[in-house]
Structure 1
């Protein structure tokens, strides 16, 4: 039995590893591929990313409700994996011809397809594995660290692959998807084992209903959680969008700055994996809501520090500090959702409260910050951004209730 439990742990970890290997390779090298290989200008490339974001906004509510109705069944996860399998063939044989027929049409189709796998699909992957690991009594953070290791690996090998053959990145994604498919097929979660049918029986006796879903929106903590996610998750990504260019500007040779930044990022990702091991214990001590507030404070310090303390070594430190912030945010999100809301609706709350809110925030604030960067420069813009962060975090914290203030939703359904 112990060997079986260890095997399951590595199965979960492998699923995270190979999914986020795909994620990291695509998001790191798709912009270069669109520019250097597909020869798209920035406006058409922007349509690809906009299509990814818009498709995700459409998919998140649908994916969340379907996954909650499926419980621990793998069908939706399997659909995401099926889409992932076609990344290599799609980019190699279909994406370029579609762009040649009509650049805007090709960009929209390409972005929508990639969103099935990534922007939209990530919520399915995260929600399913979190639910499965919780069912098998594993700490989410201990399994999630494999995603961070995948990011570090992708950063290390992806550049070499892209220089040799730009299409190899996408075929590597297909190979990773094949391994992911095998791991998903081999996975046997606890309530599928003989003699462990309690959860599936409970799921059948208390199926997710329309009223359950509507009640999520009546819960003030849900709206506070959405505001908190805009303040932390959205602003984390918005800050990171242009920070590499800001960092490189402090070097006489910007290419040297880009190289140094890539090495710092790799270090940050591997440190992040280490903190993933320790953070669950810490969050269990302080509470998930406090973990989110602490993550917001660290982000505030990172952004404000980047505006005032601009020596290269200090800017490097601000980046490495993200290795603490990211585990705090990710693990607190999952623990807050399962501690405050009906656990049968964890996928819906995750995809709407986290992914959907985050995508809306990114759509708005990426545009706003782009204008500010041009109008008042990076440093002044970072001061404004840090204030936005602390305001959203404070408002979210005031609206959200702590886990101990909530009824036990595992036994009593949301009324």
Structure 2
């Protein structure tokens, strides 16, 4: 499930949006707002539809996917003069190679980023996978819990959209590293808070924290990659350094965490996961770095 086609496609879309936004000189976070609003609307609708017939949701999603495919097929984007000039200068040569990959693997900064992704983001994803079931346990019936979860997600995603719109300016001010650390602290608070939650109100508040974390994580990740590495490799580094490493580690963690849920329960498992996330967030104060790019840019590369 962690490596399913929807997961891979979502990551490709995120990388594409970031690449296009940077090429056209507008902020990724402001474009991503549309995704947050769409998610908010869908969360409420699916929360109700799942109580009626889950198949309705999948038919609607398939229909919109066909509409999107048709729109993409009919679209005819205009060529950019600046893009043509860059192409003529050779700046759009193949960005990734085995040599580049080898250089990347020798960089301490790359492995420092992987430590954050695996120890913080991946652990948090595994925690969030079963949070809906934990959330529903605080309500009289699973159906009521699903409905409330959908409405809470809707409100949270609208808040997410607002924060996502402002996130680029905030991250530019505090720096990409501090944005990632802020996201890590929010994740840690949410996981640890869940381990002590005892009422529906508390889990609703903890669910809302997710909406503060996502903008800092996504915008901070792209800006960290662009500042610490060659920006032309941003899509590759996001797909491999962030998404692939997070999903692969999630496969291993999911089996272990699943056993904990069965043996010690949600609260104790969340306490352990929260301590792990907090520890790796504190470690990332040292392993994450800012500064100049470490891979050669197009201007500094020697001609072939």
The two structures have a TM-score, normalised by structure 2, of 0.88
**Matched-pair contact (CA < 8 Å) for 2:160–2:211:** yes
| Pair 211,220 (structure 1): closer, same or farther in 2 beyond 3 Å | same
State how far apart, in whole Å, the 1-side matches of 2:47 and 2:140 are.
23
**Matched-pair contact (CA < 8 Å) for 2:47–2:147:** no
What's the counterpart of residue 204 of structure 2? 316
**Matched-pair contact (CA < 8 Å) for 2:48–2:147:** no
State how far apart, in whole Å, the 1-side matches of 2:283 and 2:107 are.
16
| Pair 204,235 (structure 1): closer, same or farther in 2 beyond 3 Å | same
**Matched-pair contact (CA < 8 Å) for 1:225–1:400:** yes
Unpaired runs of 5+ residues, structure 1, are 1-48, 57-114
1:158 and 2:32 equivalent?
no
State how far apart, in whole Å, the 1-side matches of 2:255 and 2:25 are.
42
How big is each residue's C-alpha offset from its partner over 1:266-324, in whole Å with a ceiling of 9 and x where there is no partner? 21111111110011100001111110111000010111111124332122111101111
Matches within 5 A, 1:266-415: 266-402=154-290, 404-407=291-294, 410=297, 411-412=299-300
Q: State the SS of the aligned residue for 1:250.
A: coil
Choose which of 96, 105, 109 in structure 2 pairs with 1:217.
105
Q: State the SS of the aligned residue for 1:401.
A: coil
State how far apart, in whole Å, the 2-side matches of 1:195 and 1:341 are.
23
Q: CA deviation at 1:412?
A: 4.2
| Pair 261,272 (structure 1): closer, same or farther in 2 beyond 3 Å | same
| Pair 227,413 (structure 1): closer, same or farther in 2 beyond 3 Å | farther
Matches within 5 A, 1:175-186: 175-183=64-72, 186=75
What's the counterpart of residue 201 of structure 1? 88
Q: State the SS of the aligned residue for 1:321.
A: helix
State how far apart, in whole Å, the 2-side matches of 1:400 and 1:231 are.
13
Q: CA deviation at 1:407?
A: 5.0
**Matched-pair contact (CA < 8 Å) for 1:292–1:329:** yes
Higher relative contact order (CA 8 A, sep 6+): 2
Q: State the SS of the aligned residue for 2:81.
A: coil
**Matched-pair contact (CA < 8 Å) for 1:272–1:327:** yes
1:236 and 2:137 equivalent?
no
After superposition, the CA RMSD in angstroms is 2.6
Q: CA deviation at 1:339?
A: 1.2
Q: CA deviation at 1:257?
A: 2.6
Unpaired runs of 5+ residues, structure 2, are none
**Matched-pair contact (CA < 8 Å) for 1:224–1:395:** no
Q: CA deviation at 1:400?
A: 2.4
State how far apart, in whole Å, the 2-side matches of 1:168 and 1:260 are.
17
| Pair 273,349 (structure 1): closer, same or farther in 2 beyond 3 Å | same
| Pair 164,316 (structure 1): closer, same or farther in 2 beyond 3 Å | closer
| Pair 203,276 (structure 1): closer, same or farther in 2 beyond 3 Å | farther
How big is each residue's C-alpha offset from its partner over 1:152-211, in whole Å with a ceiling of 9 and x where there is no partner? 12223335666468266245434334335524753637xx32355333234457543432
| Pair 145,389 (structure 1): closer, same or farther in 2 beyond 3 Å | same
Q: State the SS of the aligned residue for 1:285.
A: helix
Q: CA deviation at 1:413?
A: 5.7
The two structures have a TM-score, normalised by structure 1, of 0.66
